[in-house]
A = this chain, B = another copy of it.
Amino acid sequence: MDFIREASPLIAGRKIAGTAVYDAGGDEIGVIYDVVIDKRTGKLIYAVVSLGGFLGIGKRLYPLPWSALTYGSALGGYEVHLSKAELEEAPGFAPEQLPDFPDSDEEAKLHRYYHVEPYWTH
């Protein structure tokens, strides 16, 4: 179902996986594997990013607070203001070991790592 134009600012939920993620230097460092949505507010709160490897099969996954991402229309993907090395040091998980969200300790740690305000404070 391709009801949304490629260059549109809108995207179907089932199409967001695979969107490219770029580091501060403009290099593609990975892709969105999935997103985490707050059902009550309808806001995306995490992008679960796979660093390398389409759809991240067998790879480590990095939950990034949504506010750590900026959409670049020219790039057609998201920018994160960290280097790939900094991202590799970030909290990453095997797919079957992702935090059992919500997990307040783990989530507080994630937001501190990316220097962004926790979504539950605003």
Residues of A whose CB lies within 8 Å of any CB of B are 1, 3-5, 8-14, 16-17, 19, 34-40, 42-45, 48, 66, 69, 71, 73, 95-96, 98-102
Q: Which of A8, A13, A35 has the largest number of chain B CB atoms within 10 A?
A: A13
Q: A34–B13 contact, CB under 8 A? A: yes
Interface residue SS majority, chain A: mixed
Closest chain B residue, CB of each to CB of A36 = B10
A4 to chain B, nearest CB (A): 5
Q: Which of A11, A37, A101 has the largest number of chain B CB atoms within 10 A?
A: A37
CB neighbours of A16 from chain B (8 A): 13, 37, 39
Q: B38–A9 contact, CB under 8 A? A: yes
A1 to chain B, nearest CB (A): 5
Q: B40–A9 contact, CB under 8 A? A: yes
Q: B36–A12 contact, CB under 8 A? A: yes
CB neighbours of A8 from chain B (8 A): 101-102
